[in-house]
Amino acid sequence: RTAHKVMELIASSPFSTPVRNSGDLYEFTKASIHTPSLLGNGQGGLMTLSVNTIYTATVPKELCHGHFTALTVKNALVDAVRELRDDGDRPDVDVEDSDVPLVAVLKGRRVGSDRLGRGRGRGGRGGRGGRGRGGRFGARGDFTDEVEEEIVADVDIYRCLHSGGSLHRRGYRTGSMELDMGKEWGDDDNIEESEWGDNPQRNRRRSLESGNAPIHRAAMKESLAAGLLLESGWDKLVQAARSDGLGAVLIDPMTGSGTLPTEAALIACDMAPGLLRIASWRGGSDDGRGRNPHRYPPAIRWKDFCEMEEWDNLLSNAMERTKSGMKWARSPLKPTEKGMLNIKRKNVTILCNEKNPRACNLARISISNAGIGAIVSL
C-alpha cells in the first residue's frame, strides 16, 4: 500500500569502476545485462521495452539529460539483441505498456585524483596568484599537490514488475471505473445497491461520461495516506475488532478530498489496492489494444515467469479476501454488553466531514468509485 514502484535489480555498476560518460554507460549496460534472459534468446518474438531514469544526486554533465541517458541504455540493449538475431531485427519501444519496463537509477558522487601541478591554469604561466590547474604554492613558497575532484555516477538498472506509473495511483480518482464494482463484489454476497452509498450502475455511467475526474491540488498521495494510517495503528485496530467484537471507528473531521477515509476503508476491507487499478482502466474499449496492463502486468509476460494459472489464483484470492472483508465490515456490530444492545453500528465505521463543497464532491467521487459507501459516511 505504501510502495510507489516494485522493481528487481538486474545490474549494478562496480564502485571501483564508476560511470563517467555515455560511452561508459553504454558499455556497462551491454556487458552487465544478460540480454537472452531479459528480452529473449533472439530466436522467438521480440519483447517491447522502455527506459526511465531517476537521479539521486549531481551526475556527470554528459549524463544529466534523462532522455538521452535512457536512450543510451536502450541503444545498448537493442544492439545486443541485433547481434543475437540473424535478421537484424530490434525490439520496439512502448512507453505506455512495455513488456520490460526498465528504470536506470544514477547516483552521483565525487572522486579525487592527485596530479602534479605545472603552474598553468587560472593564473597563467606563473601569473597572478601563483595558482595552477593541478597545484598551488604553500605559505612558504613550496609547491604542493592539489586534489582535483571529478563527478562520477554509480548506476543501478532495475526492471519494473508493473506498468501504469506510480502505484500510489489506485484508480478511484480517475472517474472511469470500468469494472462493475457492485456486481463483482456484491452479487455473490447479496449486497444491496444502497449499501454502496449510491446506485453502482448509475455511478459507473456517470464516471464513464466524465472521463478523468479532477484532483484537488493539495490532495494527499494515496500511498502517504496509507502509510500514516498504518503508522497510527489503524490496521491493528481493525484486526482487534475482528476478534473482540468491539468494532473499529475512524473520524476525519477535515477530510478534504477523502483520501484518508478511502484508504482506511480499503485497509479495513482487506481490499488489495491493485484491484482498483484493474477496475479503473478503460483503454481496451477506446484504443483497441484489448489488454489491461494492470490485469496483465509486465512481470507475467517475462521469459522466466512461472505460470499464468498462479497469477490468476492470486487475483482470485485477492477478490475473495475483498468480498469477505467487505461483508464483515458492513455487518452490524454484535452486542457484547448490556449497554450496547440499542447501539446500531457496523463492525467498521468511518465518519468524515468537509466544509468546502468542491472538496466534498471530490471525496464523494472517490468513495463511490472505490465502492466503500457502506462503511464511510461523509
Q: Are 348 and 248 in contact (CB under 8 A)?
A: yes
Question: Could you write out the DSSP letters of every residue in 128-169?
Answer: TT---SSEEE-TTS-EEEEEEEEEEEEEEEEEES--SS-TT-
Helix 22-32 to helix 66-84 angle, to the nearest 10 degrees?
40
CA distance 100 to 10: 12
Report pLDDT digits (tens) over 182-213.
333 433 333 333 233 334 344 443 443 334 55
Q: Which three cell numbers stand for residue 52?
A: 526511465
Dihedral pair phi/psi, residue 203, rounded to 5°: -60, -40
pTM (2 d.p.): 0.73
Report pLDDT digits (tens) over 138-190.
555 555 555 678 999 999 999 999 887 888 888 888 643 433 333 334 333 33
Q: Are 46 and 178 in contact (CB under 8 A)?
A: no
Residue 53 burial (10 A CB sphere; 0-12, 13-18, 19+): buried
Helix 273-280 to helix 308-330 angle, to the nearest 10 degrees?
110
Q: Which three cell numbers stand for residue 117?
A: 601541478
- pLDDT, residue 124, reads 38
Task: Measure the CA angle with vertex 90, ends 72 and 83; round to 5°.
Answer: 85
Q: Are 250 and 233 in contact (CB under 8 A)?
A: no
Max distance between CA atoms of the chain, in angstroms, equals 97
Report pLDDT digits (tens) over 252-295.
999 999 999 999 999 999 999 888 888 777 665 444 456 788 88
Q: Are 36 and 84 in contact (CB under 8 A)?
A: yes
- Encode burial over 325-352: b for 16+ CB neighbours within 10 A, e otherwise: bbbbbbeebeeeeeeeeeeeebbbbbeb
Which ranges of 8-53 would DSSP assign to H, the alpha helix? 22-32, 35-39
Higher-pLDDT residue of 342, 245: 245
